[in-house]
């Protein structure tokens, strides 16, 4: 099954838009990992349409908080409907198992010993300073971390987090993650 791990960075934050609907934010950079080509790529808002063929080739979209944040935001730009593509949201799986949400950074540090290189607020500052390449590097680092957490969960059936000084396992049901859904459609764009 061909899956795309992705992450988005924004030009603004919720306090700028006076609400908490991700679709009201503006994308600065989108990063992708394509399991079909084993390649990473990043696109600024100016060349975001170049990402559509990558997305259209996916059997599943993989992200962290992607159902709540990334998919609604990216769907604002996408000429089709991303909700027609299978979604694997690692944070949603964690919340279903643990009963609460955890930051990607805390899960990644405990699970794979990796951490994010910065945070979303820093990425917004870089964007506003015109440091597009810095935002792309940061976004791709998040995609790489998310992919490693995804791979770990697939192999082990759990991820980890630090609970005080101890690491605890969070069981994750990954049984349907790599199952290709037969939707009978070729997604939404005419290629």
How would you class 85 by CB atoms within 10 Å of its CB: exposed for 0-12, middle for 13-18, buried for 19 or more? buried
pLDDT tens, residue by residue, 124-160: 999 999 999 999 999 999 999 999 999 999 999 999 9
The reported pLDDT for the residue numbered 121 is: 84
For residue 184, is pLDDT > 60? no
Do 156 and 172 meet the contact criterion of CB atoms below 8 Å apart?
no
Domains recognised in the chain with CATH numbers: 3-171 (3.30.420.10)
- Nearest to residue 159, comparing CAs of 136, 181, 177, 180? 177
For residue 171, is pLDDT > 60? yes
Q: Report how far Cα 51 is from the mean position of its chain's Cα atoms.
A: 14
pLDDT tens, residue by residue, 14-42: 988 888 999 999 999 999 999 999 999 99
- How far apart are the C-alpha atoms of 187 and 176, rounded to whole Å? 20
- Nearest to residue 180, comparing CAs of 35, 53, 54, 77? 35
- How far apart are the C-alpha atoms of 169 and 141, rounded to whole Å? 24
The reported pLDDT for the residue numbered 146 is: 97
The reported pLDDT for the residue numbered 114 is: 85
């Amino acid at each position: 099954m061909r899956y795309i791990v992705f992450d988005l960075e924004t030009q603004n934050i919720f306090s700028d838009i006076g609400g908490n609907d991700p679709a009201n934010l503006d994308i600065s950079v989108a990063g992708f990992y394509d399991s079909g080509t084993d390649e990473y790529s990043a696109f600024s808002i100016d060349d975001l349409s170049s990402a559509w063929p990558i997305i259209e080739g996916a059997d599943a979209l993989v992200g962290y908080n992607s159902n709540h944040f990334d998919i609604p935001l990216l769907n604002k730009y996408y000429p089709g409907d991303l909700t027609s593509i299978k979604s694997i949201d690692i944070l949603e799986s964690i919340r279903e198992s643990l009963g609460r949400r955890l930051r990607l950074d805390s899960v990644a540090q405990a699970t794979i010993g990796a951490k994010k290189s910065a945070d979303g607020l820093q990425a917004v500052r870089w964007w506003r300073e015109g440091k597009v390449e810095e935002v792309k590097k940061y976004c791709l680092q998040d995609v790489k971390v998310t992919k490693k957490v995804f791979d770990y969960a697939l192999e082990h059936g759990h991820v980890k987090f630090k609970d005080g000084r101890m690491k605890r396992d969070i069981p994750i049901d990954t049984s349907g993650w790599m199952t290709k859904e037969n939707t009978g459609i070729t997604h939404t764009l005419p290629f």
